[in-house]
Amino acid sequence: MEVCPELHRILERLPHHHFPFDNALIPLNGIYILFEDGEIAHGTNRIVRIGTHTGKDQLRSRLKQHFILENKDRSIFRKNIGRALLNKGNDPFLEKWELDLTTRAAKDNFRFQIDHEKQKQVERQVSDYIQSHFWFVVFPVPQKEDRLILESRIISTVSLCPSCRPSPYWLGLFSPKEKIRESGLWIVNELYKQPLTQLEFENLKRMIFPNE
């Protein structure tokens, strides 16, 4: 049995969370899987991003950083969506979008270089795109070590699958990041490593659907 098609099938059975989503339905600790309009693989919705969190009880906060908080330096996913939108439009603001303004020193150094109104406009465009084009499924994984291993295994499983290819209209094809364009995923780390073994997949399936 090929793992990637079966992985897509079991994830498709989980509740789909669209924006605005109900935090009460999201576990405190776990893994999220993102899907995107128009992206299909294995006869179902194609996985386009796999993610988790490192801090305790931070899954809801992580999803909020992606979908709601307009700060691309707190969400590499938002930053990558903005990169693709700006690159698609040949917008020279892409150079400024790349700047990381997380620290006070960086904010002080670059505050006169950045058109802050333009920055807010792009952040709004990123939010609009994410909120209208993406949805996700989640499943609980209490332990950080388990989450990180599973995240890596799932990313590698999907990135190594020849059937998980983006549509010709996928926004990620405009990404300046070669790994995003080539993998068809909004990810640059943990690609093409060790995929889920059959045993690991069966264990994952029992974790997600313990009563089956």
Asked whether the beta carbons of 149 and 194 are under 8 A apart, the reply is no
Q: Is 77 exposed, middle or buried (0-12, 13-18, 19+ CB in 10 A)?
A: buried
Sign of the alpha-carbon dihedral angle for 165, 79, 13, 19: negative
Is residue 141 very low, low, confident or very high in pLDDT (cuts 50, 70, 90)? very high
Token pair belonging to 86 = 């700006």
Give the count of domains, the chain. Answer: 1
Token pair belonging to 200 = 């690991």
Torsion-angle region of residue 38: left (phi > 0), alpha (psi -120 to 50) or beta?
Answer: left
Higher pLDDT, 176 or 103: 176
Query: Rounded to two decimals, what is the model's pTM?
Result: 0.95
Indicate whether 2 pLDDT > 70.
Answer: yes
What is the pLDDT at residue 106? 65
Q: What is the pLDDT of residues 31-55, one digit of tens each?
A: 999 999 999 999 999 999 999 999 9
- Expressed as residue numbers, the domain containing 140 is 3-208
Asked whether the beta carbons of 18 and 212 are under 8 A apart, the reply is no
What is the pLDDT at residue 102? 80
What is the pLDDT at residue 110? 74
Structure letter (DSSP) for residue 16: P
What is the pLDDT at residue 211? 86
Q: What percent of the chain is modeled with pLDDT above 90? A: 90
Is residue 116 very low, low, confident or very high in pLDDT (cuts 50, 70, 90)? confident
Indicate whether 76 pLDDT > 90.
Answer: yes
What is the pLDDT at residue 146? 97
Is residue 84 very low, low, confident or very high in pLDDT (cuts 50, 70, 90)? very high
Which residue type sits at 51? G
Indicate whether 108 pLDDT > 80.
Answer: no
Indicate whether 184 pLDDT > 80.
Answer: yes
CA distance 146 to 183: 24
Indicate whether 104 pLDDT > 80.
Answer: no
Indicate whether 20 pLDDT > 90.
Answer: yes
Q: What percent of the chain is modeled with pLDDT above 70? A: 99
